[in-house]
Amino acid sequence: MADIAAQLIREFSLKPFQVQNTIRLIDEGCTIPFIARYRKEQTGELNDQVLRELYDRLVYLRNLKSRKEEVRRLIEEQGKLTGEISSALDACTSMQEVEDIYRPFRPKRRTRASIAREKGLEPLAEIIYRQDIVSGDIYDIAQRFVNSEKGVNSADEALAGAMDIIAEDISDDAEIRKSVRKLFFKHGMLVSGAAKEEDSVYRMYYDFREPVSRIAKHRILAVNRGEKEGFLQVKIEVPEELIIEFLVAKAVRKGKSVTAEYVEKAVEDSFRRLISPSVENEVRNELTELAGEQAIKVFAENLRNLLLQPPVKGRVVLGLDPAYRTGCKLAVVDDTGKVLAIDVIYPTPPQNKVEEAERILLNLIEKHKVDIVSIGNGTASRESEIFVANALKKLDRKVYYMVVSEAGASVYSASKLGAEEFPDFDVSLRSAVSIARRLQDPLAELVKIDPKAIGVGQYQHDMNQKRLSETLRGVVEDCVNSVGVDLNTASSSLLSYVSGINAVVAKNIVEYREKAGRFSSRLELKNVKKLGDKTFEQCAGFLRIPEGQNILDNTSVHPESYDAALKLLELTGYTPDDVKNRKLDGLEEEVRKRGIEAIASAINVGVPTLRDIVSELMKPGRDPRDELPKPVFMTDVLSIEDLRPDMVLTGTVRNVADFGAFVDVGVHQDGLVHISELSDKFVRNPMEVVSVGDIVKVRVLSVDVERKRISLSMKNV
């Protein structure tokens, strides 16, 4: 345990207490959001992202240690464990290195070498590999191993079998494999070509080659997918003669030996037949793993920014799920997300009942005082937007519309959760509700959908699915807990992402609320089935009760710090009523005057906790998303045909990739701002400049209407 902690301290450049306390808290069952928010003194204020990276590395190092011990035991059971092997295992820093050491001892299927061993040719292989015979004829030695009963009928057959054993031994040598892998990474060239004469989205890879050491990670995933779908043939080309020369230098001893040429031939066979195909697979797997990790990071950051989009509060929204034949589904929801009305209209082909649809739409808007129409961006979205924009012009007051991504809405609609929430609605009506609500509160609505279905990642089906799911769940947890959750209105989906609460406890909270009525105090949580003291400790600070008996229940002040918060108010001359009435303008100044360390000591908390308490008392019920730029609403409509080079538009960043950002400028086809067009300065990573949800100004560079491609720039706008 101590060695793992020491390694984490080195790798993360942290102080010993930060790592040791974090490991202890994790082992005690604390969640990352809880540790990040309520154990700042113990971690030295590490944020949730660093804590998650630390946790991931801790798990890897523990698994590595466990695998080392398992391999040590397996080799020892064969009676082949030596001090050298044991030391080599201790020195391993990766799973691959451990597997390389175990490779010679791993039970194998029958190989040419194992068959040769069965024929008794291992002693001959040892004689040849020692290379200490300087005169004579090797055939004379080989002749001794001819044994027709064992299937060795000639000296040539004996030599061939012995060389098979040498070739396999060289291939199984951990140091040799490690060296060859390095040469593949240093000199290798990833090459792809067309596997069939057919045009496809992979045509740019039909004659493609790029050094393994420099290839962009997103291209690795693109090539892999093209190969998987049968459009590409992919391989890694290496300078074989250079590597064989290197291996010969390792295996063939200097000086004259009659067996050296046989060892050299065995080396060449070992590389071409055994090492090269195997190492090529390992290198491609490692490239894919590295590319997958990068793609997961991009996906996670995009998801984080999407979930933390500012909510549109206090507005009545009409959600419209566009369609052709089956009609556009409408759902009006009030400012709390409650469904007020549903309907279906047919303004699109083939029915084209525009006048009737307009009358129904405008009646709903007037009757329910709708402020914004939220239009899904799926099939028939273009026609629906034109219809809505024209209809809104006939109103006496300003009603806006916005096209929102409906990615995942159909997944939610057809889910068990969607059926439980709206058992009497058909699937498309549930989608209309989701489209309206995701404008009102993106976080609360999007947590009902598998993060992989939200549409802000690339090549997600080509990644390690377990790793992707764990990472994305971590992002959702961090977002939910950083915002906080209203205990009296939250769905079980939202509650299940709160620190310490699993799906069962989340449902129990909702059931308790339905039977006993609204929660009036956080302490009532202890009455919920299966919500014990540990769960209460982990979740309580992240749950809000806006109309609770205790104003502190509407802040992120943890119940364990209530006494400290009350002492702080008393020391500085304020009361809980001042918190409720937001009359604490002088609190920060009073704390500064008295000395933050002195007050922290007086109320028995650390300085970071005191700062958090002061911040929360100043703004009870605050939502960190309120400080972000609001979404851009529209009143009129553009089409791709309207775009001209040099037009300057305002758009919303919908997705960010390694090579640039996709921006929605309101024409139903996102434009690409290539990484080279994001800034006048050199940009290494697009996320340094833009995030999902950012409102940006862009200039049109070019438009290809036929291929629906829009090239944009953010330079000099």
CATH number of the domain at 36, please: 1.10.10.650
**Does position 205 have pLDDT exceeding 90, yes or no?**
yes
Residue 252 lies in a domain: yes
184 or 695, which is more confident?
184
Residue 709 lies in a domain: yes
What is the C-alpha to C-alpha distance for residues 330 and 36, in angstroms, rounded to an integer?
42
Same domain, 51 and 27: yes
Q: Taking Cα atoms as reference points, which of 302, 63, 262, 22 lies closest to residue 165?
A: 262
**DSSP secondary structure string for all residues of 450-511:** -GGGSS--SSGGGS-HHHHHHHHHHHHHHHHHHH-EETTT--HHHHTTSTT--HHHHHHHHH
Sheet holding 317-321, edge to edge: 339-345, 328-333, 317-321, 372-376, 400-404
Alpha helices in 188-327 (DSSP H): 217-228, 240-251, 260-269, 276-307
Q: Are 435 and 406 in contact (CB under 8 A)?
A: yes
Residue 691 lies in a domain: yes
Looking at residue 558, its pLDDT comes to: 97
What are 555's two structure tokens?
A: 């802040």
Looking at residue 635, its pLDDT comes to: 63
Residue 664 lies in a domain: yes
- pLDDT band at residue 706 using 50, 70 and 90 as cut-offs: confident
Instruction: Give the HSE-up count for residue 189: Cα atoms under 13 Å, Cβ half-sphere.
Output: 11
* Strands annotated E in 619-676: 648-657, 660-664, 671-674
* Strands annotated E in 525-575: 543-544
Looking at residue 1, its pLDDT comes to: 61
Which CATH number do you get for residue 123? 1.10.3500.10
Looking at residue 615, its pLDDT comes to: 93
Which CATH number do you get for residue 455? 3.30.420.140
Domain encompassing residue 258: 112-188+238-298
pLDDT tens column, 556-568: 999 999 999 999 9
Average pLDDT over the chain, rounded to whole? Answer: 92
Same domain, 160 and 32: no
Residue 382 lies in a domain: yes
Same domain, 14 and 67: yes
pLDDT tens column, 611-665: 999 999 998 888 888 776 777 666 666 678 888 898 888 888 889 998 999 998 8
**Does position 139 have pLDDT exceeding 70, yes or no?**
yes
Cα angle value 337/339/343 (rounded, 5°):
135
Which pTM was predicted?
0.84
Which CATH number do you get for residue 657? 2.40.50.140
Looking at residue 460, its pLDDT comes to: 80
Same domain, 419 and 523: no
Residue 457 lies in a domain: yes
> Residue 269 gets which letter from DSSP?
H
**Does position 49 have pLDDT exceeding 80, yes or no?**
yes
What share of the chain has pLDDT > 90, as a percent? 75
Q: Are strands 189-194 and 485-486 parallel, antiparallel or unpaired?
A: unpaired
Over residues 581-585, the mean pLDDT reads 88
Looking at residue 637, its pLDDT comes to: 61
Packing angle of the helix pair 122-130, 260-269 (nearest 10 deg):
110
Over residues 84-94, the mean pLDDT reads 95
**What one-letter code names the amino acid at 134?**
V
| Residue 710 Ramachandran class (φ > 0 left, ψ -120 to 50 alpha, else beta) | beta
330 or 459, which is more confident?
330
Q: Are 347 and 357 in contact (CB under 8 A)?
A: yes
pLDDT tens column, 401-423: 988 888 888 888 888 888 988 99
Q: Taking Cα atoms as reference points, which of 68, 166, 67 lies closest to residue 113?
A: 166
What share of the chain has pLDDT > 70, as a percent? 99
Residue 231 lies in a domain: no
**Does position 233 have pLDDT exceeding 70, yes or no?**
yes
Q: Which long-range contacts (CB under 8 A, 24 or more apart) does 330-337 make?
A: 330/360, 330/361, 330/364, 330/432, 331/429, 331/432, 331/433, 331/435, 331/436, 332/364, 332/368, 332/370, 332/436, 333/433, 333/436, 333/437, 333/440, 334/368, 335/440, 336/489, 337/437, 337/440, 337/441, 337/444
- pLDDT band at residue 251 using 50, 70 and 90 as cut-offs: very high
Over residues 325-331, the mean pLDDT reads 95
What is the C-alpha to C-alpha distance for residues 530 and 526, in angstroms, rounded to an integer?
9
Same domain, 125 and 254: yes
Q: Which residue in the block uniquely carries the two structure tokens 């509160």? A: 441
Same domain, 582 and 650: no
pLDDT tens column, 462-519: 888 899 899 999 999 999 999 999 999 999 999 999 999 999 999 999 999 999 999 9
Residue 194 lies in a domain: no
Same domain, 453 and 598: no
Looking at residue 417, its pLDDT comes to: 86
Same domain, 244 and 163: yes
- From 472, 492, 525, give the residue that closes a domain: 472
Same domain, 666 and 589: no
Same domain, 542 and 645: no
- From 472, 502, 526, give the residue that closes a domain: 472
- From 59, 77, 105, give the residue that closes a domain: 105
Which CATH number do you get for residue 553? 1.10.150.310
Looking at residue 532, its pLDDT comes to: 96
Same domain, 461 and 370: yes
**Does position 452 have pLDDT exceeding 90, yes or no?**
no
- pLDDT band at residue 527 using 50, 70 and 90 as cut-offs: very high
387-415 burial code (b ≥16 CB/10 A, e <16): bbbebbeeeeeebebbbbbbbbbbbbbeb
**Does position 52 have pLDDT exceeding 70, yes or no?**
yes
Sheet holding 207-211, edge to edge: 207-211, 189-194, 232-237
Q: Work out the number of other CB atoms within 10 angstroms of the CB of residue 466.
A: 8
Over residues 19-44, the mean pLDDT reads 97
- Counted residue by residue, the chain has a size of 717
Over residues 673-701, the mean pLDDT reads 90
- pLDDT band at residue 13 using 50, 70 and 90 as cut-offs: very high
Least confident of 76-85, 195-204, 526-535: 195-204
695 or 368, which is more confident?
368
Over residues 117-132, the mean pLDDT reads 95
**Does position 378 have pLDDT exceeding 70, yes or no?**
yes
- pLDDT band at residue 151 using 50, 70 and 90 as cut-offs: very high
**Does position 109 have pLDDT exceeding 90, yes or no?**
no
Same domain, 456 and 559: no
What is the C-alpha to C-alpha distance for residues 67 and 52, in angstroms, rounded to an integer?
22
- pLDDT band at residue 296 using 50, 70 and 90 as cut-offs: very high
Q: Taking Cα atoms as reference points, which of 608, 571, 626, 539 lies closest to residue 309?
A: 626
CA 532 from chain centre, in angstroms, equals: 31
For the chain, how many structural domains are there in total?
Answer: 5
